[in-house]
Structure 1
Amino acid sequence: MNLKQLNIFHGKFFHLCLLAFGSGAIVMSMELIISRVLTPVFGSSTYTWGSLIGLILTGLSLGYFLGGKISDRDPTFRKICSVVFTAGLYIVFVPFIAPAILGFTLNDLPQNQFSSLFATFALVFFPTTLLGFVSPYVIKLGTVTLRQVGNVSGTLYSISTVGSIFGTFLTIFVLIPTLEVRIVLFGLGITLMIVSLLGLKNLPKILTIAVILILFTPSSSIVTGLMPHTGTVIVETETEYSHLDVVDSDNKRTLYLNGMRHSQMDKDNPNDLTLTYTKYFHLGQLFNSSLEKILFVGGGGFSGPKNFLDTYPNSFIDVVEIDSQVIDVAKTYFSLKDNSRLQIFNEDARTFLMNSDDKYDLIILDAFATDYVPFHLLTQEYFQILQDHLQPDGVVVSNMIGSLEGDTSNLPSSVYKTMTSLFPTVYVFTTAENNLNIVQNLIFVAINNNEQLTRVELENLSIQNNANNLLADTKYLENYHMSGMRTDSIPILTDNFSPVEIMINPVTSQPFFDEDSIFSQDESRIWFSESTSVKIGLLIAVVFTWLVFFKSTWKNTLN
């Protein structure tokens, strides 16, 4: 090989490396970003992540197989670049098609552990398969003799993997914290299109410029989110842990995390408790009249801590919240003000307690949601830590979501059994009604007292401890479930065995979305504005133009 041929080969090989690096980076980045589209609807469960990872791997495997076969038929750099361009164009469309796909999945398909498969398949399988073409194809193009196969394949696979690592860290530490999901998806698609221009002619370059102009002209605020909202969106962002929305509806401001309601505030009376279940937090006063030091596990919109600061003027309140952006949002949009009696800790609750020597009169657990429960905050070991941080007369009030009976009672029953393995008495209260099968907020109250009181005795105790007025807006006596919960064949949760993922929605036949959801059945469908329709029409015109070009590029190979 002469010097000129060597230079040409090195230049060509650099382009192959760039294509391998880019495709590897985009695959991993897309996987992480699409998870942010799926979790508000299907939850951050192992089923959601398993579907996403499984379909990504399936798409890549199919792509490797097809790419390897096609690369043996007249391989050219232009052809593989056209495949990458197609993948990028599809990804650009994802923010436009995601709302319709998710709405269809919610409204027209059965809600069970397989619910996320269809949506995940529609969003990621096609572009992932196309990007799977890249590795075998560039190895074919980069190999001059059989003697080079090992070196070339190892180098290109290594570069692709480095790209995946780069894409993972860039997405986690830069893209998700700073940009909206739709902008990231637009960026990923356009990046692929630009990289593919290394081997394409003038028309794809014109189409790439057209796509950029269509997406980022001033009216491109057409897709404010990947799911429609009920009410006026004040904030929509991605935090380190979840998709966060602040939505105003009438006089109520609501905080949603991953599409599920976590807190609500009356804008005229920001310290009032508006959600029924939060009013049951005052059961702490019922069982312990001396609430000098209180801990909230889970901050959300800080409705509970704000109300308790007003209600118990002599109490000191600690709040531990793992998501720093949730704390910032509470301060900015939920009237959370500095107070000498309030301390906020941005930590994992279990880590915080393990490093703390404080003891509390009341610990309120409100870090759980319909779709996700941190397993390490439900185990016997964790409740032992809570018990160690209680004063002798201390009380634990825990909010759970589920039912008293049926398949949606498995997790609450396990938590109840776990708590009763440590606390002599655990009271169970429903917050909606005493229907055994309805999914609702359940309140568990654990105390270090062997005496289980009747409804009449609880009523007398509430008068004695000045809790009757605080609980006046609740039906706690009617909703007191005196017999506790059935725990036959239900496991005690431990650090070694805590299968919470198979005990909560969406693994049951119950609908995933409920009254706490930011989406309702009638409002989960996508409605495009006139501006959106125009832009989609222009993008479709780009797609048809590209398909004509793509067909001519691959004509010889496909025949």
Structure 2
Amino acid sequence: MATSIDIREEAGVRTLHFGSDWIQGAMRIARPWNLELDYTREMMTSLLLREDSRYPRKVLLIGLGSASLTKFLYRNYPLAKLDVVEIDPGVVAAARQFFKLPDDPQRLHLHISCGADFLLNTGKQWDLILVDGFDALGRAGVLDTQTFYLMCRAHLSEQGIMAVNLLGRSRGFKASVERIREAFDGRALCFPSCDSGNTIAFAAAGDAVETSLLDLKDAARELKERTGLNLLPTLTRLEQAQTCEGGLFTL
């Protein structure tokens, strides 16, 4: 059944809805390449976790929404190849018409499919997998199962990081984190919830992530200078939550 798609505008911000008040994506019309929602900015913390200046070169995004993450990576990581999986072609059409989704088949490949089915039928690997897929009621369905997370792990490169948007007010939130931890043999970390109620979980495959908070802050300053994205508040919340013992971030 096709999704009921609504586009709304208020105070200079255009939002995407699936037939409810639930915001599925947002774009500030004056700054269409910026990340408007807190949780989308927080998902980009994954960009700080590898020291390779070429990271990431291959990215998989599951769930297109208003294309915020896709556009940010497309603009700021010109060497990256992006695969975007979206189950509803209507969402792709809305992203093109109302949210400035680029049309560049050389760098940006769109796949109309369920994210789990797509992974099941591909042999590709990615440096970064971003999972942000929900229906009108905020349900992730098959995208929040241990089988799906195991498939994500299998499709990550040696530098691979997965970031998943989880709804903090969902009853299944803690169970979701546990499924991710089990799929990644404990190599998962849940960030403190951001103001929107969303919580971002990160998981790693391949090479270990081990870096000091000071180095992460340096990387965040460089990212801010290069892209305008400020992740220093996210790192401050991480530090205050005492998630990084001895000031060391490990994953």
Which category of TM-score, normalised to the shorter sequence, fits these structures? 0.7 to 0.9
Percent identity of equivalent pairs: 25
Alpha-carbon distance in 1 for matches of 2:71, 2:204: 24
| 1:262 equivalenced with 2:24 (yes/no) | yes
Alpha-carbon distance in 2 for matches of 1:381, 1:297: 15
Alpha-carbon distance in 2 for matches of 1:479, 1:317: 30
| 1:461 equivalenced with 2:216 (yes/no) | yes
**How does the TM-score come out when normalised to structure 2?**
0.83
2:14–2:29: 8 Å Cα contact kept in structure 1?
yes
1:320–1:346: 8 Å Cα contact kept in structure 2?
yes
Alpha-carbon distance in 1 for matches of 2:2, 2:129: 23
Deviation at 1:258, TM superposition (A): 3.0
**SS at the partner of 2:183?**
coil
Question: What runs of 5+ residues in structure 2 fail to find an aligned partner?
Answer: 245-251
* CA 1:389–1:426: 2 relative to 1, 3 Å: same
Alpha-carbon distance in 2 for matches of 1:379, 1:262: 21
Q: Residue 57 of structure 2: which of 292, 307, 318 is its match?
A: 292
| 1:331 equivalenced with 2:96 (yes/no) | yes
Q: Which residue of 2 aligns with 1:16?
A: none
Alpha-carbon distance in 2 for matches of 1:370, 1:322: 13
Q: Residue 203 of structure 2: which of 446, 459, 463 is its match?
A: 446
Q: Which residue of 1 aligns with 2:44?
A: 282
Alpha-carbon distance in 2 for matches of 1:464, 1:271: 21
Aligned amino acid, residue 354 of structure 1: L
Aligned amino acid, residue 299 of structure 1: L
**SS at the partner of 1:475?**
helix
**SS at the partner of 2:237?**
coil
* CA 1:464–1:247: 2 relative to 1, 3 Å: closer
**SS at the partner of 1:479?**
helix
Deviation at 1:453, TM superposition (A): 5.9
| 1:317 equivalenced with 2:112 (yes/no) | no
CA RMSD of aligned residues (A): 2.5
Q: Which residue of 2 aligns with 1:95?
A: none
1:368–1:400: 8 Å Cα contact kept in structure 2?
no
Q: Which is strand-richer, 1 or 2?
A: 2
Deviation at 1:243, TM superposition (A): 2.1
Larger radius of gyration: 1
Deviation at 1:461, TM superposition (A): 3.3
1:286–1:467: 8 Å Cα contact kept in structure 2?
no
2:2–2:90: 8 Å Cα contact kept in structure 1?
no
Alpha-carbon distance in 2 for matches of 1:444, 1:477: 14
Aligned amino acid, residue 44 of structure 2: H
1:425–1:452: 8 Å Cα contact kept in structure 2?
no
Shift >3 Å, 4+ stretches? 449-454, 464-468, 481-484
- Residue deviations 1:294-319, cap 9 Å, x none? 01100011111011111111101111
**How does the TM-score come out when normalised to structure 1?**
0.39
- Residue deviations 1:370-397, cap 9 Å, x none? 8332321111111111011000110000
Q: Which residue of 1 aligns with 2:159?
A: 393
Aligned residues: 233
* CA 1:270–1:450: 2 relative to 1, 3 Å: closer
Q: Which residue of 2 aligns with 1:479?
A: 237
**SS at the partner of 2:117?**
helix
Aligned amino acid, residue 392 of structure 1: E
Alpha-carbon distance in 1 for matches of 2:79, 2:26: 25
* CA 1:428–1:304: 2 relative to 1, 3 Å: same
Question: What runs of 5+ residues in structure 1 fail to find an aligned partner?
Answer: 1-239, 434-438, 485-559
Q: Which residue of 1 aligns with 2:247?
A: none
Aligned amino acid, residue 213 of structure 2: L
Q: Which residue of 1 aligns with 2:249?
A: none
**SS at the partner of 2:64?**
coil
2:158–2:207: 8 Å Cα contact kept in structure 1?
no
Deviation at 1:245, TM superposition (A): 0.5
Q: Higher mean Cα deviation, 240-249 or 254-263?
A: 240-249
Aligned amino acid, residue 143 of structure 2: L
Deviation at 1:351, TM superposition (A): 0.7
Q: Which residue of 2 aligns with 1:415?
A: 176
* CA 1:284–1:326: 2 relative to 1, 3 Å: same
Q: Which is helix-richer, 1 or 2?
A: 1
